Amino acid sequence: MNIETIAALATMIGDGIFILLIAFLYLYDRRKRQKEYENERAARDKEYQDVQKAREEEYKHLNENYNNMIQDIIQGITCHHLTPEESKNIAQVEKQINDIIRQILKEANASRVSIVKYHNGNKDMTGVSFLKMSMTNEAVNMGVAPLMPDFQNQFRSLLAYWCHEVDTQGFCVIADREELIDVDITMYEYLKARNIEAKYGRALRNTNRDVVGFICVEYLNKDDFDLEAVNKSLKDNYQRIETLIGLNGGVKNELQ
């Protein structure tokens, strides 16, 4: 075999090895890309399954809350009804409370005197009851529009400043609503929308000394507000109101 032939064979072998190397690298890269694609797809499938599982848990939680709400409604419908005697007793207590707040209205020269009681409302997504309040008794002066029909099932957060002061100090005094602008703008806007210029409140407690609501003395004209007159009237009547609320609450609790 001559030198030219050997050289030609060497060139052919070299070219063949190079071609094999290129083919190997191509197959290796293709296999690598295929593996990466499979891993990505597996990751997407797992993410999808996690999302579906989370949705199923959410739907389950919503369904449980719905069922709990239905049970609350059923219990409310099937609970004990007032007997004529029980209804009469509660009505008598409510009349006495209304008589007392009308007396406070006159003695304090107020525009409105009312009683607001705390209670729970519907539940949120976690099953925790909303904190609410409702006006249960009201006495108004001549020409003053009643507020009680509109003040039902209100969130306590609406008057967060007021409720905090009443709950922690036992009372709250707002001699001039303009002073609230830099203190609590929500409370200020609430009073302004209802033309209330001055307001006094004192906590009402049950027999365990827990705050269950408050009594409000309100003025559409701040010049009529006399803290001394308010305190004097409440000194004579506050304990009577707490006692009556305790009696009324006791009658209602026995029905549960």
Looking at the predicted structure, is the pLDDT value of residue 147 above 90? yes
Looking at the predicted structure, is the pLDDT value of residue 78 above 50? no
- Arithmetic mean of pLDDT, 209-217: 91
Q: Of the ranges 61-70, 86-95, 212-221, 241-250, which is most confident?
A: 212-221
Q: Of the ranges 38-47, 87-96, 166-175, which is most confident?
A: 166-175
Residue 196 sits at φ, ψ, to 5 deg, of -90, 120
Q: Which CATH superfamily is domain 84-253 in?
A: GAF domain (3.30.450.40)
Are 83 and 252 within 8 A, CB to CB? no
Looking at the predicted structure, is the pLDDT value of residue 194 above 90? yes
Instruction: Give exposure, 43-57, as e/b (b: 16+ Cβ within 10 Å).
Output: eeeeeeeeeeeeeee
pLDDT of residue 61: 58
CA nearest 204: which of 174, 161, 159, 249?
Answer: 249
Looking at the predicted structure, is the pLDDT value of residue 5 above 80? no
CA dihedral 49, 53, 59, 63 (to 10 degrees): 150
How is the chain split into domains, by residue range? Answer: 1-79, 84-253
Looking at the predicted structure, is the pLDDT value of residue 191 above 90? yes
Task: Return the amino acid letter for 207.
Answer: T
Looking at the predicted structure, is the pLDDT value of residue 200 above 90? yes
Half-sphere exposure of 176 (CA within 13 A, CB side): 5
- Arithmetic mean of pLDDT, 200-217: 90
* H-helix or E-strand spanning residue 132: strand 129-140
Of the listed ranges 16-20, 48-52, 129-133, 161-165, the one predicted with least confidence:
16-20
Looking at the predicted structure, is the pLDDT value of residue 220 above 60? yes
Q: Of the ranges 21-30, 88-97, 118-127, 208-217, which is most confident?
A: 208-217
pTM assigned to the model: 0.62
Q: How confident is the model at residue 253 (pLDDT cuts 50, 70, 90)?
A: very low
Looking at the predicted structure, is the pLDDT value of residue 231 above 80? yes
Pair of tokens at residue 117:
């009681």
